[in-house]
Structures are given as C-alpha cells and as structure tokens.
Amino acid sequence: MVGSRFRYSQWDGTQKGFELDAFDVLAELTDDLLYHGDPMAALRRLMQDGFEDRNGEQIEGLRDILERLRQERQERLDNHDLGGVYDEISEALDALVDKERQGLDDRNALADMQAGDPGANEADKRNAELAKETTANKQMELQMLPDDLAGKVRALQNYEFESAEAQAAFDELVDQLRNELVNQQFQHMTGAMEDMSPEDLARMKDMMAELNKMLESRAEGIDPDEEQSKFEEFMEKFGDFFPGEPQNLDELLESMAQQMAAMQALMNSMSPEQRQQLMDLSNQLMEDMDLNFEMSRLGQNLQQMFPDAGWERSYDFEGFDPLGMADASQMLQELGQLDNLEQFLQSPSSPSALAEVDLDQVRNLLGDQAANSLERVSELAKMMEEQGLIQNKEGRLELTPRGLRRLGQQALGDLFSKLSADKLGRHDIEISGLGHERNYDTKPYEFGDPFNLHIERTVRNAIRRTGGGTPVNLTPEDFEIERTERQVRSSTVLMLDLSLSMPMRDNFLPAKKVAMALYSLISTQFPNDYLGIVSFSEVAKELRPADLPEVSWDFVYGTNMHHAFQLSQKMLAKETGTKQIIMITDGEPTAHLLPDGAPFFSYPPSRETVERTLAEVMRCTKAGITINTFMLDPDAGLRSFIERLTELNQGRAFFTTPQNLGDYVLVDFIEHKRKMLRGRK
C-alpha cells in the first residue's frame, strides 16, 4: 500500500481553512464577560451584533439580519400590486368573450348570406332569420354581462356558447380558477395536483370533512393513541394530498394553518371591493360541490387551534407590478414567513435556540449569507461547551476553570498588545528559558510557551489517555513543559475599587480587565507567587479568582480603603516573600469601619476616615508591605491623599487613564519581578 504524501508550506496569513472556533468566540466575548460576568448575556449580545471570524468573513448578527429582513419585506410591498389578481381573470374572460362575439359575428354573416341567397327556399330563409335573432339575443346577453367577476362567471356558466373554442377556453378557465383558489389555501399540500378534476375536488372535500371530524373529536377529548390511529388511517386514504408526509396530526395542522393564514392575509390586504369579489368568486366556483363549506369549517377550526398563526395580518402593497392569483398567493406566503422569522429572531433566549430556524427557508428569503450566519451563530454556545470553556448548571451558563484561565489569558494578551512603546519603552520579558535555576515544576503546554518538553510526564499523559500499548501516540494535549524560572517568590494583593463611581466614569471595565490579566500572568508564569484580590466600596470583601468574571460594582456609595487595607494585611500575613499591595481606585477614602464593625460613610471625607485609613497604611508599612497605587481620573482630593499615603509607605503612585491602566500595572509588576531577579544575582 502506497502511503499518503503531503506537502507543507509556511503559513503567511492568506490561506483559508481555519474556521471559527470556541477560542475565537471567547476572544469576542472578553470585554462583555468582564463587564457583566454573564456568559449567556454576553452570547446574546454577540448574537445580536455579529462579529468577524479569523478569515475576515463577517458573521451577521441578528440586528443586521432583521434589518435586511425588513428591507426584503418592504421591497415586495413597494414593487407589487394585488390588482393583478383580478386583471388576470378579467383579461382571460374578456378574451374568451371576444372569441364568442367573433363566433356570433361569423354566424350572423353566414345567416345574412343565406337570407339573401336568391336560390334559397323559404325554409332556409326562415332558419337564417331565426339564426340572426338568436345571434342578436346572445350578443345582448354578452352586452349585459355583470361587471363583477363572480357575476360574470355565473352568467357565463348559464350561457350557451356559439363558439366551441370559447366554450373550451371558459371551461379551462373555470377549472384553473377553482384549482388556484384551492391551492391558495393548501399550496404545499396539493402542489402535486396541479390539474385537479371534479372528482379530485370532491375527494378533497371528503378529506377536509374527515379532518374536521378529527379536530372536533380532539376538542371533545379524544385519547391520544386513538387519535394517532385515526390519523394513520386518514393518511392511508388521503396521504397523496400531503407530499411533506407529516408524522402526526399536529404537524399536518400547523402546516395547513400557515397556508390558510396566508390566504386570509391576502383577503385582509385587499380593498373591501376586491375582497368581496374574491369571496363571491370562491362561493360561485365551489358552491356546487360543497367544498367552500368544508374549507370555511376547517379554517374556523384551525383559527381556534392556532390563534397566533397570523390570521389578522394585512399588507399595504404600493407598487405597480400586478400580481396574478398564484403569484399573489406565493407572495403572501413569503411575507408571512418573513413576519414569522422576524418575530422569532426578535427574542431568541440563546444562540442554541436559533437551531430551530428553517435554514432553507432563510436562504430562500434572505440569501446564503444570512442563512450561513444564523447557522454559525446557533453553534456558539455548543462550541464553547464542547471545548470546556462554559458549562450549563441548572439552566445557567457559567465559565469553567478552563474558561476562566482562557479569559485571563485573553485579557492579558489584549493589554500587552496595547502597550505604548513610545512612553514606556519595550516591555518584552522572557519569564521562562534555559539556563535558570530549575525547580522541576511542570505545566500543560500552551501556545506561545517555550517548548521545554518534560519527556517523562508527556509520555505518561499519553499512556494515561490511550490506556497503554505501543507505539505511544502523542497529541498536543499530552505535552507538559518544565518551568525553569528563577525561584523568587512575591505575594501580591490587588485592591480593586468597586464603588459606584467606577462604572459612572467608565473605569470599571479597564480595572477588571487588569485584575483578570494579573491573575493570568501570575498563575501561568509565576505559579509560586501568591495573588489575593480584595474589592472595596462601602465595605471590603475578599474575592477568589474564580469569582472575578461575575464581579460587578456595588450600588452603594463609599470607598472603604480602611477595611480593604485591613483585609489585605491579614491575607499577606500568611504569605512569604516580598509583599505588595496594588490598589486601583478613582476616589479618595469616604468610608471606614467603626469599632463595632459597621461602616461609616461621609462625603466629603471626614477627618476620622482619612486618619483611620492612613493608620492602616502605617501598619502595612511596618509589616514590610509596599503599596503601589494606580489612580484613575484623579481629582485634587485623591491626589492629596495618595501623596500622603506614598510619603508614609514609600511605594509608588501612578496617575493613569482607563486607556493605559493595564500598561502601567502589568509593566510595573514585571519590572518589580525583574528587580527581584537581578537582586538574586
């Protein structure tokens, strides 16, 4: 057997083939997840807005699709007119009446010739005169035909045609109209029976009569098993009317309700005069077989069962392109489908709910791009669940530990990609590498890590995954790499201001992104370091890294640094190595804890609040804890307080903006680690 051969070339960014994956989706969701902390809400917003995949292809959001849907509907209404429903019939009737008149004229001319023939006998002349009289009477009948379509059809049904050709044309038109009126009600069900004979129509009446009986039995409370049995018998007898092969009564009825609702929408969209003409025409053509009665009865039953099928819909056609009866029926059905699709797309509970959309119908109505976008958007949640980034807990989506790590990495990558080289210099840092002191710690390989493969643990992972045997096949998931960083441990507590002023000044998202990025940086590149997180507003709280995605601001007033410093000291007292507090805030202290543990708030800050807060700063300083402060949009009061804090602690203070906060915090942290490493030399 000849082995397969493959050719490889260097990736240059122009090749196609890498489709959207779960990590792309998470990257799109990063800011939304950090701001709101709700994966389902973030997915819904992404579903609404759309996004661009890695190939540069635009995945349309529901907002764009809905706009296109409304444009498609308006275009149909602006270009067409329902008057063609009657023009088509009137023109056909006028044409066959003209044929009859021509036949009468020909007969009259022949009678004149016979009457004036010198060789004609008296009997021939009398016959000629009778023929002329009959012709005149018929011409009078044609002259007196009613103006309305139903009346004209009724009069012609009682008229004895002189022209065989006109008679044949009229019979054909009546059959065609009868079929079109039926097909307007049940286009998909009877589409295979374009030329229905009177026998077919009679059988259709019987079909609808039995269907009505089943509906009325259901209303009276029939056993479901008995109903299914009757449905199967019904399909054996009348299944040829339903090429879609419905599997149960509900499926059949829903489809029929959509068809009849489209017909009702056509009636609703007509002027009162047009509507009356169509109703009269329908009654005239179907009255003899009692078909109209069964159709009306079925329509009433279906309206009771499916009250939301759109029976009340109407459309305002304003164009000039006249629609014939068949085209009008198709147009109203498409408009109904557009309405149903719009109603569905306005309120999907989640991306996965879009899986219920009929993509073939969307493709027919809105084109391939809309259908493909809906298909891909519908897979977002499933894709992320399959990759282990989110999980469904009792109907609520939550980030998994893997998703949390990935979110932190994304936040870290976003911030490093925005570092301002002209202001802060280059910030490249090689955390791991050969030649440093080895601590024999390992971690799963992640894209971008130095490839210092730990062979023993990598092979062990592969054997554990495959169950043993040779050869041992490795996959990227098996790779485990050595950490070769220098062993200098530091302990950090991030104090994060979550007071109400943070979102009001648009500072919340940048601050939270920094928290996630710092967590990711320490947990992946400095695993021996400690990171604690303390949030503060009216009071302070200790947070776990796993809580970060769902953390939001507090709807209370107060910036209680006093309590936050107390908690931070307590957390760092248990740790070793160099110790520091990183505080991110946009306001001066306005709250502190009273001796009984209750919070006290005052704005402007009270003297007691400031003094108690600075007393905690002194305790931190005596405990060897450095406090570095990052101030967002600082006012004079905050600047003054931070100057006093820095003077007491000898830490550093940075005046930052939401745009460069991440640059300052991450670079400062890394520079701190560099100094520690240089101190070991």
Instruction: Inform me whether the pLDDT recorded for 355 exceeds 50.
Output: yes
- Would you state the pLDDT for residue 435? 32
Residue 238 lies in a domain: yes
Give the highest mean pLDDT range of 48-62, 137-151, 282-296, 628-642: 137-151
Scored b (16 or more CB within 10 A) or e, 578-608 reads bbbbbbbbbbbbbbbbeeeeebbbeeebbee
Q: Which amino acid is at 452?
A: N
At 146, list the tokens: 């009613």
Q: Please give the Cα distance from 596 to 112 (Å, whole number).
A: 125
Query: How confident is the model over 434-450, as pLDDT tens digits?
Result: 333 444 567 787 765 66
Instruction: Inform me whether the pLDDT recorded for 661 exceeds 60.
Output: no
Instruction: Please check whether residues 544 and 588 belong to one and the same domain.
Output: yes
Q: Are 274 and 229 in contact (CB under 8 A)?
A: no
- Would you state the pLDDT for residue 613? 93
Instruction: Please check whether residues 465 and 508 belong to one and the same domain.
Output: no
Sorting pLDDT into bands at 50, 70 and 90, what band is 96?
A: confident
Instruction: Please check whether residues 132 and 215 belong to one and the same domain.
Output: yes
Helix (H, G, I), strand (E, B) or coil at 23: helix
- Would you state the pLDDT for residue 11? 44
| Residue 274 phi, psi dihedral angles, 5° rounding | -65, -45
Question: What percentage of the chain's residues is helix, strand, coil (to nearest 5)?
Answer: 60, 10, 30
Provide the sign of the torsion angle of the four alpha carbons 54, 55, 61, 63, taken in this order: positive
Q: Please give the Cα distance from 30 to 408 (Å, whole number).
A: 9
Domain extent at residue 553: 490-680
Of the candidates 46, 18, 25, 12, which has an alpha carbon nearest to the alpha carbon of residue 350? Answer: 46
Of the candidates 572, 673, 563, 584, which has an alpha carbon nearest to the alpha carbon of residue 623? Answer: 572
C-alpha dist (Å) from residue 418 to 199, 410, 631, 653? 77, 13, 19, 21
Residue 419 lies in a domain: no
| Residue 579 phi, psi dihedral angles, 5° rounding | -125, 140
Residue carrying structure tokens 């003094």: 611
Q: What is the length of the chain?
A: 681
Q: Please give the Cα distance from 190 to 193 (Å, whole number).
A: 5
Instruction: Please check whether residues 357 and 506 belong to one and the same domain.
Output: no
Instruction: Please check whether residues 279 and 200 belong to one and the same domain.
Output: yes
Residue 128 lies in a domain: yes
Give the highest mean pLDDT range of 39-43, 246-250, 398-402: 246-250
Bridge partner residues of 543 (DSSP) = 533
The two most distant CA atoms of the chain are separated, in Å, by 145
Provide the sign of the torsion angle of the four alpha carbons 604, 606, 607, 609, taken in this order: negative
Q: Which of 484, 512, 543 is the last residue of a domain?
A: 484
Region 625-653: mean pLDDT is 82
Report the number of secondary-structure helices (H) and strands (E) in the chain.
25, 16
Q: Please give the Cα distance from 29 to 43 (Å, whole number).
A: 7
Radius of gyration in angstroms for the set of CA atoms belonging to the chain, rounded to a whole number: 41
Residue 416 lies in a domain: no
- Would you state the pLDDT for residue 288? 56
- Would you state the pLDDT for residue 681? 45
Instruction: Please check whether residues 358 and 443 belong to one and the same domain.
Output: no
| Residue 653 phi, psi dihedral angles, 5° rounding | -125, 135
Instruction: Please check whether residues 456 and 499 belong to one and the same domain.
Output: no
Instruction: Please check whether residues 137 and 217 belong to one and the same domain.
Output: yes
- Would you state the pLDDT for residue 611? 93
Give the highest mean pLDDT range of 93-107, 148-162, 380-394, 609-623: 609-623
- Would you state the pLDDT for residue 412? 63
Sorting pLDDT into bands at 50, 70 and 90, what band is 353?
A: confident
Q: Please give the Cα distance from 345 to 25 (Å, whole number).
A: 20
Instruction: Please check whether residues 583 and 622 belong to one and the same domain.
Output: yes
C-alpha dist (Å) from residue 277 to 80, 133, 135, 317? 20, 34, 30, 18
Q: Please give the Cα distance from 196 to 211 (Å, whole number).
A: 20
Q: Are 153 and 285 in contact (CB under 8 A)?
A: yes
| Residue 271 phi, psi dihedral angles, 5° rounding | -70, 160
Q: Please give the Cα distance from 290 to 283 (Å, whole number).
A: 9
Cis check for the bond before 604: say yes or no (omega within 30 of 0). yes
For the beta carbon of residue 566, count every other beta carbon within 10 angstroms.
20
Region 598-613: mean pLDDT is 91
Question: Does residue 383 or residue 67 have the better pLDDT?
Answer: 67
β strands within 73-225, DSSP E: 80-81
Sorting pLDDT into bands at 50, 70 and 90, what band is 570?
A: very high
Residue carrying structure tokens 């670079």: 667
- Would you state the pLDDT for residue 304? 85
Instruction: Inform me whether the pLDDT recorded for 583 exceeds 80.
Output: yes
Cβ partners under 8 Å of residue 111, min gap 6:
128, 129, 131, 132, 135
Cβ partners under 8 Å of residue 308, min gap 6:
none
Residue 70 lies in a domain: no
Q: Please give the Cα distance from 365 to 61 (Å, whole number).
A: 17
Of the candidates 414, 344, 413, 349, which has an alpha carbon nearest to the alpha carbon of residue 381? Answer: 349
CATH code where residue 639 lies:
3.40.50.410
- The total number of structural domains in the chain stands at 4
Crossing angle for the helix pair 39-49 and 22-36, to the nearest 10 degrees: 110
Instruction: Inform me whether the pLDDT recorded for 581 exceeds 50.
Output: yes
Residue 189 lies in a domain: yes
Residue 17 lies in a domain: no
For the beta carbon of residue 187, count every other beta carbon within 10 angstroms.
18
Q: Please give the Cα distance from 246 to 253 (Å, whole number).
A: 9
What share of the chain has pLDDT > 70, as a percent? 78
C-alpha dist (Å) from residue 580 to 128, 494, 572, 626? 124, 9, 8, 4
| Residue 538 phi, psi dihedral angles, 5° rounding | -65, -40
Helix (H, G, I), strand (E, B) or coil at 79: helix
Instruction: Please check whether residues 534 and 442 belong to one and the same domain.
Output: no
Instruction: Please check whether residues 392 and 505 belong to one and the same domain.
Output: no
Residue 420 lies in a domain: no
- Would you state the pLDDT for residue 183? 65
Instruction: Please check whether residues 199 and 176 belong to one and the same domain.
Output: yes
